[in-house]
Chain A
């Protein structure tokens, strides 16, 4: 207790000195513990790799970038608490790299509430609709494509190869429900209806059984399943589907954290001798980190190698007691997204220039057009356009790693 008080005292004394040292403080609330901690940590690591590079070269206009990290464990309530802390107490410059739809969705009203103070959220790790449309869309800037775009793409491809009975396995919260709505409306475009649906609760671990859900969906005789969930639950679903002898193609959206899921499936595959990665499709909103032709990918890999960023140390409001230490991934779609997020934010801050005032953020960001970050696509914002990229990439697992899916025909019916 005394030790905590002591450190708080140290922090209080130390904090003004830091501001005085010309720092831009970003606030993050994400899953740094619990079943989805891989997302929060990898996103953070990718961003940190770039920020450290920037900081090591003098920062942005002399201002170093720091990240204030809070853990919400992928749950909305702590996310709200963290956000309030970040806004009112920490007085961060902006909110950055939030993870998760239910968390972000619930924090949106806080942004609107604090619109006088111009609190903006940059590049949350979610493709949900609420932060892309009124009444909260104006307070959020997204890099990635929406879930509607991901699911719409998946549905289009499946229908194209004749797989019209599409079922949905989703997390029963705002995220899952958003993906579900995406699939539903995409099918409606083709005049089709959902073959079936099954849900799971947020917080489900890989050890939990998804057999019930597999059974429910299998009964619908679906010829494709789209999963809107976390890597632990979706991994469990894939495992139980294959264990049940059902080889239906299963597609996951970007949020799933492909490498984390792959690691789980590979580990199980090593024990059972079964290949769980067959017929597994993952849609991504960033290019593959194997695509070394992209300068951004090369830079990403170089900086990741160089800085080898670690998970955040002083995470506030930790939600879960972890028994084992997290083993960071060398590269991942999530850390690449975090890297690109950081790079785009730095680009905005560079453009903005001192004085770094919050109320200027919206106009500076909206003025950004056709920015090439070396990721193979142009990033643009505009008045009313708060999503930088519309690109969706499809990947399959090959030789234990994700590769771009170019040929859908193999699932042709």
Chain B
């Protein structure tokens, strides 16, 4: 078969060679015959023509066409290749010719030459190709002879020759093919027998005898030709291969025998073809041979059926269709009828692309299964325990905080009563201990949250300086108590507006600085902040807390960050604390993308470093507060402080905001200044009062001022270095608007002042009456609903709120609270979250649902003991407006009231209602604001008119850019300027723009801007006319006291 194929191939090649040769030969022969015959024909034709011409002259002269005809007939008949002969006389008429039926027209066109014989080609009747030979007779005098030689003869000749050649070639080809076939047979027969022998070997026929020789039927290759050499080489190769195969088999067997994994091979039907001892042993058979030839699928893998009926395992499909599988837990049956779990792998075997069987390996995993089950149980138990722990922590948080709330609240209340010195000391100790306990509890909760991975960082915008300021203020008291200097130094390069978790930053700082204070007996504690790295999206800051305390021994430096460890066991005893603070700080720092480390020298001091990364924040609260500054312009303020430095700082600060401060260093001087101002018709609207002064302290002065007729409504801000509990109550009692704890932060001072002054301005704009700021609004009696089930906490909260001057209605649960809310009108609700019967969330939901019909919104502040992150979110989700963590302290309550009293739709409604005044501006109000100071008024108006185009341009640009935020800022600033002039129309227009900017919808902005521009133009002209007017009747400006 193969030799035949070889023969066919060779035959094809031979055929191709012959065909090519034939073609080339044919072309050559055709060409050569054509050339030769053409030449011959021409010569022949020439000879004929010339002979006729030579012998016909006389005949023609005799006018004997028959003779001429006979002559040409003779030539034409006797000479092969002559197609025609034609004799013309000298008139061109035909004397004789051989054409039938007529002389073709082509002949007319043939020309002759009288001097010589010429040869030309002619095609007769468009078919017959001829060589025309034309000879003149008697130099053309008598006529011409045309002899046509037929080219078709040439072609015929060529065809004949080619036919002959083809025949010859075919014979030659047949001979060659035959010879080749014989040769091929001679070569291919041994090859074929070799092939057959090889196939027989491949088919599994006894490959070799044991003595490593080939079977007798295998060709021996006795000759010396190439085929014999091939046969011999083949024999050698097969012996080699056989030996190798034998070795491989031995290796394979060794491998099978020595592997611990059970391994067997089956064919496609599942019959075992090999199997290793481990397999036999695992399956409970004596030796591998016991399994050979048995169907493993039926025997071993009969599935999990319980009723005895075989159930195909996943293996069956894999074996049948030839894919590999991994069964994690399969059931394998032993010889004795028992079964065990096994992990099983199978891989298909292929030979020549055809599936021949599958190799299966498996291991007994019953032991592993058992361990897994045990582990599973253990894990479940552990999880349950963990769950219980979390549950316990949450409960404990609640359970501890509730009594703590009672302790702290009652202590504070008790301290506010008349007590003996001894009693006050005891209660102070209780308060201090309770606070310490709260701190410890908070630490532990934080730590547990961190350990549980439940602590999450907030991502909010905040002011770094403000945050640090408030933190340092908190710590200042302790520093002060210990006589330590506490300072902070924030590098100018440090950005203020950051995005991150300010609360957690404060926690770290409190901890580090608190520790520093704790471990420092003399000297100072300094916090400094530097920039490590800054980009457009991120800032990395480096915080350093340096103290001059006892220091930490070098070998303990690493330990300080470990939980429950302090530098010395004794330290705990000496200084108290859980020792968790640094651990918590470490984790917090890590969560802020920073690291923490410490440098210390014993008895020299300790330096704590940490870095933290923050996002870039947008100007937030503080900027808004700063934006208030223009509104403070020209407001007369009295500053009272006995400390010259503090006095100067305060005066400079408010001067920066263009207020008109009058600084005095004692109470009597203050009273005198007040009187002078009143006399000068330029009364103070605000008094900044230091609480601690010799002789007449702040409280006494405040009392005197409030008692003074005409001064009841002046705003008093108390500045105090220590945050005595009683001070707040006293402030409230005296009608002091606010108090600020030193060191004073500018932003805090500003916001506090602005808050107070904004209220007075509203009143001012509405009534256009007395210039004095009334504190009554700030201390307005609110109707507050308190929903709280715990009686102690009820009492604490009621007392605190009543102390702040509010009316409180108590509800023991959500349902009662709901009833109360439906029956009375309240300004604010404090809502405990966990209450019997109806919880805070549920009650809030009902309230919010009912409010949807009325369109009202009562602020609801949650009180929760959970103190876990997520509580806030849950509260807000429930429709609450704020959230306080228990134990609730008086300050928290007050702040909450301050926040929610002024928020809400009522306030905005009030603003819009107030500004419906048709006048261009309130001239009287303006004059009142400048206290009749026309020089100042002139300056003010000049400033406004000068500044107006730029501010208008800012607003216009913001609208053109459709930049809502920019519009909001620009119009807010401009609003501040306009508000100076009590110009209601302009104010309304700019306020509308600000609201539009806040809403983000700028559709109506252009029209609002047009209104604004018109109003501002009118305002400008009015102000100018006012200037002229004031220039005419010059009034002496009131002089401020120096």
Contact = CB atoms under 8 A, between A and B. Distances in A.
A102 B76 CA distance: 13
A177 B78 contact: no
A199 B77 contact: no
Which of B77, B96, B100 gathers the greatest number of chain A CB atoms within 10 Å?
Answer: B100
Interface stretch (B60-68, B432-440, B1009-1017): B60-68
Interface stretch (A41-49, A87-95, A110-118, A125-133): A125-133
Interface string B84-123: 0000000000001111111000000000000000000000
B102 A174 contact: no
A172 interface: yes
B69 interface: yes
A178 B66 contact: yes
A296 to B, nearest CB: 30
A178 B100 contact: no
A197 interface: yes
Nearest to A101: B66
A135 to B, nearest CB: 9
Contact of B66 (A77, A175, A197): A175
B102 A173 contact: no
Which of B96, B97, B101 gathers the greatest number of chain A CB atoms within 10 Å?
Answer: B101
Given A177-B96, A213-B101, A76 B73 contact: yes
B77 A76 contact: yes
B64 A133 contact: yes
B127 to A, nearest CB: 14
A181 B66 contact: yes
Contact of A172 (B62, B67, B100): B100
Given A76-B74, A106-B74, A173-B73, A199 B99 contact: yes
Contacts of A200: 100-101
A174 B73 CA distance: 8
A206 to B, nearest CB: 16
A394 interface: no
Interface string A40-78: 000000000000000000000000000000000001110
B70 interface: yes
A177 B65 contact: yes
A123 interface: no
Contacts of B64: 129-130, 133, 181
Given A77-B77, A77-B78, A212 B66 contact: no
B101 A177 contact: no
A353 to B, nearest CB: 36
B100 A201 contact: yes
A335 interface: no
A180 B69 CA distance: 11
Interface string B151-187: 0000000000000000000000000000000000000
Contacts of A130: 64, 66-67, 70
A172 B99 contact: yes
A181 B97 CA distance: 13
Interface string B847-859: 0000000000000
Contacts of B77: 75-77
Contacts of A212: 101
B438 to A, nearest CB: 140
Given A172-B97, A178-B65, A181-B65, A197 B73 contact: no
A133 B70 CA distance: 15
Which of A106, A128, A133, A172 gathers the greatest number of chain B CB atoms within 10 Å?
Answer: A172
Contacts of B69: 172-174, 176-178
Contacts of A345: none
A405 interface: no
B883 to A, nearest CB: 127
A129 B77 CA distance: 21
Nearest to A172: B100
A174 B66 contact: yes
A105 interface: yes
A133 B64 CA distance: 10
Nearest to B73: A173
Contacts of A364: none
Interface of B: 62-70, 73-74, 77-78, 96-102
Given A76-B74, A105-B66, 8 more contacts: A102-B73, A105-B70, A129-B67, A172-B97, A178-B65, A199-B101, A216-B101, A216-B102
17 contacts: A75-B77, A76-B74, A102-B70, A105-B66, A105-B70, A128-B66, A129-B66, A133-B64, A172-B69, A174-B67, A174-B70, A175-B66, A177-B96, A181-B66, A198-B100, A199-B100, A216-B101
Closest 6 CB pairs of A and B: A178-B66, A177-B69, A174-B70, A105-B70, A199-B100, A198-B101
